[in-house]
Structure 1
Amino acid sequence: MQETNEKVIITGISNQQTDFDYSMTELSELAAANSYDVVGEVRQNADRPTGATYFGKGKVEEVGETARMLEATTVLVNDELTPSQLRNLEKQLGLHVVDRTQLILDIFGNRARSKAAKTQVEIAQLKYALPRLHPSANRLDQQGGGGGLANRGAGETQLELDRRILTKRIAHLRQDLKDADVGEEVRRAKRQSNELPVVALVGYTNAGKSTTMNGLLDLFADRPEDKQVFEKDMLFATLDTSVRALTLPDHRQFLLSDTVGFVSKLPHNLIDSFKATLAEAANADLLIQVVDYADPNYQEMMRITEGVLKEIGIENIPMIEAYNKADLRDDGVSFPEVDGNQIVYSARDPKSLKALTDLITTNIFANHQTNTYLIPFSDGNIVSFINENTAVKSTDYTEDGTKIVASVNAIQAGKLAKYQIDD
């Protein structure tokens, strides 16, 4: 991502928001994530924005004076502005204005790595830009001379052309995304055909999902160094869903996926675009909501996460509430601590990761059954299947074949039914 030292001030209207202070703090963190240098802040206590300029007249003047005094060149606004509000503010301030939606889109644009993520972000950016096209932005509309009406018509023609180009591009990208999603559906179906439970990490950005995944990979992946996912202490460090297979010491396996993080006021265009990315969570057998327990606003983060999950149709899936970063709290809370489907832990603590794994297995393997099987020596492939895919309790060799006691899921039990014997 490009480094900038551009000075900005952050601004916002309380707008009867109970979480206004938190959202302004988060706006500052988003600015830092985009390499802005936040030098000041202006707030307005008002029940609603002013139609034309978002801020009232006096507050617009204060924003401009504060920016000039602090030598800021850009004003960040804590809400999504209408196209007219954006144009009017920039005209009156004589400064670059970026609303919260554009800021998040910029961050996503800088962080996208995979083709799917880049496509999803570009769709969201174009949908945001489409209603903000304006004749004054076209060079034809800026021409002088005596042919004012002719030039205005040319400008409007150019505007319509620009809109058609953007609309066509969006349709093309959506088709690309649909084609890519078909391939991902095939891969997802293949994973599901292997009868492996799917566990999805969800939660607020920078809560520690990737750190948790890498910690579990260190413990249970065959070659964890080849499977690590990118992690960094920043908002939206990764936008791509990563899926890895974990094999427990008793040979039971499950798939673990790391998904894109959430943030308050996440743009709807992004939510729509990233539904494909979050499909892994929608098809999971178990969700783990990773929470930054060291952040004083963690309850608000949980509320936002659950709201976004509901908005994209992810409901009625069992969930573990995983309160991460317990080691960073000031109150000396003990960890790991498990209470039902809640765990207080640190993703950097092996004991915590072991406790989290136990909680995961309790959930996803709850319906497993322990059966005894007698496998003829001629069916050695069945013995291999049991050893590689189930939790084997004991193995004995008899005159009639290999006797195995194993914990199996319902699908495996059906496949092995003809070999089952009474113990």
Structure 2
Amino acid sequence: MTDTNAQSPGSPNTPYNEALAGTLIDRTIREKIVLVAVALPGDSDESVDASLDELALLVDTAGADEVARLVQRRDAPDHTWYIGKGKVEELKELCLALDADTVVFDNELAPSQQFKLEKLLGRTALDRTAVILDIFGQNAHTMEGKAQVELALLRYRLPRLRRGANAKMSQQRGGVGGRFGSGETKLETDRRRIMRRITKLERDLAALSETRALQRQGRGRSGLASVAIVGYTNAGKSTLLNRLTDSGVLSEDRLFATLDPTTRRLALPGGEPVLLTDTVGFISRLPHGLVESFKGTLEVAAQADYLVHVVDASAPDPHGQIDAVHEVLREIDAAEVPELLVINKADLDPAAAKDLLAEFTDSVVVSAATGEGLDDFLRAIGDRLRALAVVYDLFVPYDRGDVMASVHREGEIVSTTDDETGWTVRARLSDASAGRLGEFVVSTQEATA
């Protein structure tokens, strides 16, 4: 891992790969990492160990190896070092003995704490947020994904810029009469360049968000219900999408393999089509900067008709993962969207899946890898969506076969009666479809599940 306090972030026009590659991690070697955690009042030993286990997975995904762990129990973090001064000395000796390259804190470090730790330890000190940012940097492939990651990274780095020991205090002079003033320091120049780049990225992402909004409007006009797949990272969301739609989305057994949303059309057992979207995985204590930067992408969940919440039955703490997902959903204003809990990876731990089903009785158990339980899942999501729909009575003249085709295509026919001059149709329709077919609507009633 390289120093996050580097003096220059690169030109505002530097390409993404050049600007961000290796910002936190040196890909040419497997660095040795010491993990550090502070256990605060209320934190059990089991929860601290589980969090460190997850951090170890994050570090491994980022391209480094854990060589040791250090945990200190405190009533509150030390305002200077986060851990106590004596513990910092112990950490330094441990790093020297193991020839460790970097220390990674499971807790979030303030910029001043990070700087002082690096100065005393003589090596890079990172926190959980930095590691997650690095992984996102590796996995972003689309223009929007790269811009979102770069924005989050620059926001993280801005308060951590510090003047190097050999930095010149007056790198630039003013214009006329500049020889009489000290001009800008390199630190000020770097800060200004980062702010310019942040402003540009925010503008670019706002434009992309408008484009996505137009795309959503187009999908809304299609009258198809939208279903977003959400869940903890590596819960099997992309595998589920691939199994259901043959979409070919990257699906790997590693954290944050998917960052860019993918939408596919899916036909439910009743014949009604829906739009199914895979989303970026969530994680406990997902950095706020990432949530802010990815808000345009994550809003697909907030604007969905239904959420498919995938949970890994074989995970060490599935309840904690469910809670973490709900916390992020609240942050992106998606907590009110109805959800179906899907207990995945039943093939890996059938007993755990059965226990979760007994607790969450309104859920379904599947294995996206083997296809087990997917018929039950499709029936459940179809029933849930129909329960949300509104039933409309329409009268369609016999010479408007195109309208009947639209009703069949976009909704669910409940009943059809042949009259003298046309069909009287009772059907479940989305608001968008009902709006387009408004001239044929006779009456409306709420659907019953």
**Does the 8 Å contact 1:335/1:344 carry over to 2?**
no
Structure 1 residues 154, 216: closer, same or farther in 2, change over 3 A? farther
Q: Corresponding residue for 1:185?
A: 213
Amino acid across the alignment from 2:377? L
Structure 2-normalised TM-score? Answer: 0.81
Residue 136, structure 1, aligned to residue 164, structure 2: yes
Greater alpha carbon shift after TM alignment, 58-67 vs 231-240: 58-67
Q: Give the aligned residue type for 1:350.
A: G
Identity %: 38
1:359 pairs with one of 358, 367, 380: 380
**Per-residue CA shift, 1:240-296, capped at 9, x if unaligned?**
111111123543111111111111221111111111111110101111211111112
Alignment deviations for residues 219-246 of structure 1 (CA, whole Å, 9 cap, x no partner): xxxxx3xx32211111101111111111
SS in 1 for 2:107: coil
- Per the TM alignment, residue 90 of structure 1 is displaced from its structure 2 partner at its CA by 1.2
2:422, 2:194 → 1: CA distance? 68
Distance 1:285 1:68 in 2: 55
Distance (whole Å) between structure 2 residues aligned to residue 3 and residue 396 of structure 1: 71
1:282-332 per-residue CA deviation (whole Å, 9 max, x = no partner) reads 101111211111112111111111111112222211111211112211637
1:48-96 Cα distance to aligned partner (Å, 9 max, x none): 2222222222211221222222221111111221222112111111112
Residues in 2 aligned to 1:336 and 1:306: alpha-carbon distance in whole angstroms: 17
* Match in the other structure for 2:175: none
Q: Is the 8 A contact 2:223 2:431 kept in 1?
A: no
Q: Distance in 2 between matches of 1:348 and 1:370?
A: 39
Write the distance in 2 (CA, Å) between the matches of 1:396 and 1:137: 85
Is the partner of 1:139 in helix, strand or coil?
coil
Q: SS of the residue aligned with 2:301? A: helix
Aligned to 1:346, which of 347, 354, 367? 367
Secondary structure in 2 matching 1:52:
coil
Q: Which residue of 1 aligns with 2:11?
A: none
Secondary structure at 1:63's aligned position in 2? helix
Distance 1:9 1:51 in 2: 21
Q: Cα gap change, 1:345/1:360 in structure 2, threshold over 3 Å: closer, same or farther?
A: same
Which residues of structure 1 form unaligned runs of 5+?
A: 144-152, 218-223
The residue number in structure 2 matching 1:418 is 440
- Partner residue in 1 for 2:343: 323
Q: Note the alpha carbon deviations across 1:361-415, whole angstroms, 9 max, x for none.
A: 1111123538686542x43322432343334578899996778775544654561
1:289 is matched with 309
Superposition deviation, residue 344 in structure 1: 2.3
Instruction: Note if contact 2:228-2:276 (Cα within 8 Å) is conserved in structure 1.
Output: yes
For 2:182 and 2:258, the matched residues in 1 are separated by: 43
Q: 1:404 to 1:123 in 2, by over 3 A?
A: same
Higher mean C-alpha deviation, range 165-174 or range 75-84: 75-84
Do the aligned partners of 1:370 and 1:405 also contact (CA within 8 Å) in 2?
yes
- Computed over aligned residues only, the root mean square deviation of the Cα atoms, in angstroms, reads 3.0
Matches within 5 A, 1:74-113: 74-113=102-141
> TM-score when scaled to structure 1?
0.86
Once residues 405 and 391 of structure 1 are traced to their aligned partners in structure 2, the CA distance between those partners, rounded to angstroms, is: 9
In structure 1, what is the Cα distance between the partners aligned to 2:350 and 2:408? 46
Counting only pairs closer than 5 Å after superposition, residues 146-225 of structure 1 correspond to structure 2 as 157-217=185-245, 224=246
Q: How many residues align?
A: 403
Is 1:392–1:406's contact at 8 Å kept on the other side of the alignment?
yes
Name the SS for the 1:179 alignment partner.
helix
Whether 2:293 is the aligned partner of 1:273: answer yes
Aligned to 2:158, the other structure's residue is in SS state helix
Give, as a single letter, the amino acid of the residue that structure 1 aligns with 2:199.
A
Structure 2 distance, partners of 1:167, 1:137, is: 23
- Structure 2: how far apart are the matches of 1:373 and 1:137? 80
CA change 1:169–1:418 in 2 (3 A) is closer
Amino acid at match of 1:10: L
**Stretch of structure 1 that moved more, 42-51 or 389-398:** 389-398
Q: Look up the SS of the partner of 2:263 in the other structure.
A: strand
Answer whether contact 1:251 1:392 (CA < 8 A) is retained: no
Aligned to 1:7: 32
Check 1:298–1:336 CA distance in 2 against 1; reply closer, same or farther (3 A cut).
Answer: closer
Give the gaps of 5 or more residues in structure 2. Answer: 1-20, 22-26, 172-180, 444-449
Whether the 8 Å CA contact 2:272–2:410 is kept in 1: the answer is yes
Q: Distance in 1 between matches of 2:374 and 2:183?
A: 61
Give distance in 1, aligned partners of 2:240 and 2:143: 25
Q: CA separation in 2, counterparts of 1:210 and 1:122?
A: 24
Which AA in structure 1 matches 2:440? K
Specify the SS of the correspondent of 1:272.
helix
Q: Counterparts of 2:370 and 2:418 in 1: how far apart (Å)?
A: 41
> What residue number does 2:12 align with?
none
Among residues 369, 386, 389, which one is paired with 2:391 in the alignment?
A: 369
Q: In structure 2, give the amino acid aligned to 1:389.
A: E
Give the Cα separation in 2 of the matches to 1:4 and 1:212: 34
> Is the Cα–Cα contact under 8 Å of residues 140 and 154 in structure 1 kept in the other structure?
no
Give the alignment partner of residue 55 of structure 1, picking from 59, 78, 83.
83
Tell me, yes or no, if the aligned pair for 1:14 and 1:45 is still in contact at 8 Å.
yes
User: Which of 390, 400, 423 is the equivalent residue of 2:411?
Assistant: 390
For 1:369, the aligned partner's letter is: V
| 1:308-359 per-position Cα deviation (integer Å, ceiling 9, x unaligned) | 1112222211111211112211637559969653122222243411111111
TM superposition shift of 1:37: 1.1
